Structure 1
Amino acid sequence: MHDSVYEVASDDPRLAKLLRASLTKLATGPEGPLREMAEGVLSGHLDLRRAAMSDAYGDALGSAFGRFWSHYEQLDQQERDELVRRTEDQLDALLDGPRPS
């Protein structure tokens, strides 16, 4: 993985783990600029910060965020709260491992 990921994560191992998981998900997704970017960062050939700000990948990132934001704005407050709760649970499981039962 490119060193820039650790710089973006401010050397926080939990954030670096989250970034790696996100990039891995993108790298196994459909063909396109986001997959290409993720593969480049994970292989160490591409600086994450520069890629995100580049014309080659910035538009694709902005478009993906725009789709998310459009969906989010259509949710009512209860649905937003549930989305946040589920996301926090998934993030905790990813970063800390499964909780004991």
Structure 2
Amino acid sequence: MHDSVYEMAGDDPRLAKLLRASLTKLAAGPDGRLKELADGVLGGHVDLRQAAMSDAYSDELGAAFGRFWSHYEQLDQRERDELVGQTEQQLDNLLDEPRPS
């Protein structure tokens, strides 16, 4: 994995593990450009920060964020709170440990 992932995670092993899991999921997915980005970062050939800011991937990243934001905006506050709680639980499960207090 490219060193930029660890730098972006601030040397926090939990965040680095989450970024690796996210990149692995993207690498296994159907989206050609995001798959290419993830494969490059996981293979140590692509700097994650530079790739995320690059025009080469901006359309795909923007579209993915747009889909998320459209969904999020339709949620009421209770649903947003539930989503946050579910996400925190999934993160704890993924990382095999609760977040630090």
TM-score, normalised to structure 2, is: 0.91
| Superposition map of 1:1-101 within 5 A | 1-97=1-97
**CA 1:43–1:33 in 2, change beyond 3 Å: closer, same or farther?**
same
Number of residue pairs the alignment of both structures matches: 98
The one-letter code of the counterpart of 1:38 is A
Alignment gaps of 5+ in structure 1: none
Q: CA deviation at 1:31?
A: 3.4
| C-alpha separation in 2, matches of 1:30 and 1:41 | 17
Identity value in percent: 80
The one-letter code of the counterpart of 1:89 is Q
Q: CA deviation at 1:74?
A: 0.4
The one-letter code of the counterpart of 1:56 is A
Alignment gaps of 5+ in structure 2: none
Q: CA deviation at 1:96?
A: 2.5
Q: Deviations over 1:12-39 (max 9, x none)?
A: 1110000000000100000321111001
TM-score, normalised to structure 1, is: 0.91
Q: CA deviation at 1:59?
A: 2.2
Q: Deviations over 1:43-92 (max 9, x none)?
A: 11111001000011122112111110010000112211111111000001
Structure 1 segments of 4 or more deviating over 6 A?
none
| C-alpha separation in 2, matches of 1:59 and 1:75 | 25
| C-alpha separation in 1, matches of 2:29 and 2:55 | 20
